[in-house]
Structure 1
Amino acid sequence: MKGKVKWFSSKKGYGFIDCEDGRSIFVHYTDIQSDGYKTLNEGDEVTFDIQETEKGPKAINVVTTKRSQKKSRSRRG
């Protein structure tokens, strides 16, 4: 699946990705595939898989394919 990061709070370690199918999917920092500090920036283009959980769908195996020019904002906390 492809999408764009809607928002991500580095402080809280989670955010949401807008999918190409129109859904907003929860993402947790532990599901980001990168070395070092795991974070996402608003507007980053990503690929990911979707896992159904009791709380709803969540993004897993998240890989940034294109970094946004925007800096990550600490949103919602």
Structure 2
Amino acid sequence: MAKSQQTFSKSEKEKKRLKKRQDKQKKMDARKADRDEHGPSGIQFAYVDHNGNLTDTPPDPELKVEYELEDIQISVSKKEDLPEEDPVRKGKVSFFDSSKGFGFIIDMENNEKYFTHVSGLIDDIVENDKVSFELERGMRGMNAVKVTKI
């Protein structure tokens, strides 16, 4: 006698599929009955108000703002338009290990911590020294280079 091809797992999956189909049909019937009872509902037309939000009422035409075509810029601002930034920063040495040849400097302006290596030093530094430095992009982020004591 041949063994049945129907396993427990297959029958459970089939039961779930059938239950899901029945739930979906019940939801469809409930929505249809609600629509028949109350009529169609929801926003028939969607408008955009002066703040850019969707609404079901038309926007007030007095709040409409007109823009000239020449005033619209679709680009990045030119480099000469940006304010000139001083590349030399000031900071304080929070940690420096001279035997390993690296340390960290905390920027006084924004309290960011930057890595520094002995190859980027001009003067010898120790912890708590006030220094000036420049930033350079390294493999893991910004590094302090051209480090000098103040």
Partner of 1:59, secondary structure, is: strand
Match for residue 119 of structure 2 among 30, 42, 48: 30
Measured in 1, the distance between the counterparts of 2:132 and 2:144 equals 9
Structure showing greater radius of gyration is 2
Measured in 1, the distance between the counterparts of 2:139 and 2:102 equals 17
Name the structure 1 match of 2:131.
46
CA RMSD in angstroms, aligned pairs only: 0.9
Q: Which runs of 4+ in 1 moved over 2 A?
A: none
Measured in 2, the distance between the counterparts of 1:59 and 1:7 equals 13
Q: Whose helix fraction is larger, Structure 1's or Structure 2's?
A: 2
- The AA in structure 1 aligned to 2:116 is V
More relative contact order in 1 or in 2 (CA 8 Å, sep 6+)? 1
The count of residues paired between Structure 1 and Structure 2 equals 61
Kindly state the Cα deviation for residue 42 of structure 1 after the two structures are TM-superposed: 0.8
- The AA in structure 2 aligned to 1:23 is E
Q: Whose strand fraction is larger, Structure 1's or Structure 2's?
A: 1
TM-score normalised by structure 2 residue count: 0.39
- The AA in structure 2 aligned to 1:6 is S
